[in-house]
Amino acid sequence: MKVGAVVITMGNRPEELRALLDSVAKQDGDPVQVVVVGNGSPVPEVPEGVRTVELPENLGIPGGRNVGIEAFGPGGSDVDILLFLDDDGLLARTDTAELCREAFAADDELGIISFRIADPDTGETQRRHVPRLRASDPMRSSRVTTFLGGANAVRTRVLTQVGGLPDAFFYAHEETDLAWRALDAGWMIDYRSDMVLNHPTTAPSRHAVYHRMVARNRVWLARRNLPALLVPVYLGVWMALTLLRRPSRPALKAWFGGFREGWATPCGPRRPMRWRTVWRLTRLGRPPVI
For the segment 192-218, the average pLDDT, to the nearest whole number, is 86
- Give the whole-angstrom CA distance, residue 4 versus residue 78: 9
- Give the whole-angstrom CA distance, residue 186 versus residue 286: 16
DSSP string, 22-46: HHHHT-SSSPPEEEEEESSSPPPP-
CATH, domain range 3-202: 3.90.550.10
Task: Check pLDDT > 60 for residue 208.
Answer: no
Q: What is each CA distance from 287 to 4, 56, 143, 241, in whole angstroms? A: 32, 40, 14, 16
* 3 state SS of 18: helix
pLDDT digits (tens, 9 = 90+) for 230-268: 999 999 999 999 999 998 999 999 999 999 999 999 999
- Give the whole-angstrom CA distance, residue 136 versus residue 72: 37
Task: Check pLDDT > 80 for residue 201.
Answer: yes
At residue 82's C-alpha, the angle toward residues 79 and 84, to 5°, is: 155
Task: Give the residue extent of every domain in the chain.
Answer: 3-202, 205-283
Would you state the pLDDT for residue 198? Answer: 97
Strand partners, 5: 34, 83
Would you state the pLDDT for residue 95? Answer: 98
For the segment 130-156, the average pLDDT, to the nearest whole number, is 96
**% of the chain residues with pLDDT over 70:** 98
- Give the whole-angstrom CA distance, residue 145 versus residue 277: 11
